[in-house]
Structure 1
Amino acid sequence: MTNKEVLMNSKRYPEEFKIEAVKQVTEKGHSVADVANRLGTTTHSLYAWIKRYGPDSSQYQAQSDESAEIRRLKKELQRVTEERDILKKAAVYFASQSD
């Protein structure tokens, strides 16, 4: 192992950094060697990150499930907000009719 590899192995990267590095390989099609070189990490580390955060990992699946749930909840919130606004308008209309 070279001195550069020893120094690179001692670095700690944030989880978001690792996930974005994995996306460059899995989603954008860049080679592991190219991404590792550009980001200043080892190919060994990047392969480990792919195993942990890649499309086949349970963590990736959990993140995808959470994203789907967030999209579903946003749609539901929009629908409920629209219903509330319609009911507010109806209440104003009927209140003005009773005068």
Structure 2
Amino acid sequence: MPKKYSDEMRERALRMVAEALPDHPNQMAAIRHVADLLGMNSETLRVWLRRSEVDAGTRPGVSTDAAEEIKRLRRENAELRRANEILKSASVFFAKELDRPTTK
């Protein structure tokens, strides 16, 4: 699915939220204000903010880089499991071929 917003737009929106925080009673009010200014969904902006906090280490959670690495390793692990199953099947097949008596 293509990205709806560019990375520059995301960074700009997050900067605007940081600048708007002192003028609002809570974080969600600042998020809603900035989202309205930019014409975007406030939930999108809230998710971006949470993700940036996790990536910065100010909020507990798995960072974006770590999540991508985990995803890559899981794919690789699944591929290696499939390869092992194929190799096991092949070794059983060839072992049967070697054990079969030859008729001449």
Q: TM-score, normalised by structure 2?
A: 0.47
* TM-score using structure 1 length: 0.48
Structure with larger RCO (C-alpha < 8 A, sep 6+): 1
Higher alpha-carbon Rg: 2
